[in-house]
Amino acid sequence: MESQRVLVLPGSSNPRGSEKYKKVIELIEDLAVQKGYECKLLNYPGQCGDSVNALSYASALEAALAKCAEYRPRWIISRSFGCWIAVGVLSCVHQWVDACEGAILWGPGLASTTARVWPDRATRAREVEGHRQYGTYLAEDFFETLPPIEDLVGTCRCNLRIARGTCDDLNTRKDLDYLASLHSKLQHRFIYEVREITGLGHSVVADDLGPELLGRYSACLFDPMKAT
């Protein structure tokens, strides 16, 4: 029997650039192994010390499309900025998309969140510089060229689970319900779920989880999508 191929689309921060983000990714990879799944992590251009290329929505999408065509994931786990990339690749008309069983968007934010957290040129420049300290080179116009995820989710040709931890200050349950409604309205063939896990934040590491919470997080990441 062919193993379930899982592709992990990380956030904009270098997934191996700090102990915190290493632990975030390692937990996802460990849970995938426990489930018996094959798991691959995509590194975007501009990450992992790549100072030649720059990370933008367009460059990450191009890299993700190439990886998906090669790897043909049956399940996608995306977090933070990776949510934009997930809905982007799943909006494309490619054969592998038809075989993809679903994707989880963990911690997506609306355009209004981007405007609130990084409202001007100065705050965005500080964020670009902060990423460089951990080995990620964002394009200077990273924020200006990031499309609203609200404009992408309705074209996503796949089942979606949209999820968050209740301690995540980059989104709200209302935001997730809004994204789910856009997907449902325009993609009638596909199902959606919205999940919240009490006590979790934007970045989840094993150190913060007891057995019950770990089980809920694992189920959120890997449970198959089922029509109700």
- From the list 170, 160, 156, 174, the residue with the least C-alpha distance to 203 is 170
Residue 184 in any domain: the answer is yes
Decide if 44 is inside a domain: yes
**Tens digits of per-residue pLDDT, 154-213?**
999 999 999 999 999 999 999 999 999 999 999 988 999 999 999 999 999 998 889 999
Are the CB atoms for 59 and 88 separated by under 8 Å?
no
**5-34 confidence digits (pLDDT tens):** 999 999 998 887 778 889 999 999 999 999
Tell whether 228 is covered by a domain. Answer: no
Amino acid at position 31, single letter: L
Q: Kindly state whether residue 170 falls inside one of the protein's structural domains.
A: yes
pLDDT in tens, 77-132: 999 999 999 999 999 878 899 999 999 999 999 999 999 999 999 999 999 999 99
pLDDT at 1: 40
Tokens 């192994």, located at residue: 33
Distance between CA 63 and CA 54 in Å, rounded? 12
In a domain, 227, yes or no: no
Q: What is the pLDDT of residue 2?
A: 58
Distance of alpha carbon 218 from alpha carbon 16, whole angstroms: 21
Q: How far is CA 20 from the centre of its chain?
A: 17
**Is residue 149 included in any domain, yes or no?**
yes
Q: Could you read off the pLDDT of 212-228 as tens digits, one per residue?
A: 999 999 999 999 988 75
Residue 148, in any domain of the structure: yes
CA torsion angle 162 165 166 172 (round to 10): -40
DSSP H/E element including 195 = strand 192-197
pTM (predicted TM-score):
0.94
Is residue 159, in this structure, part of any structural domain at all? yes
For position 228, what pLDDT does the model report? 58
156: containing domain: 5-222
Give SS3 for 139: coil
Q: pLDDT tens, 38-64? A: 999 999 999 988 788 899 999 999 999
CATH assignment of the domain containing 117: 3.40.50.1820
The span from the CA of 28 to the CA of 206, in Å, is: 9
Nearest to 54 by CA among 143, 116, 163, 167: 143
Split into its structural domains, the chain has a count of 1
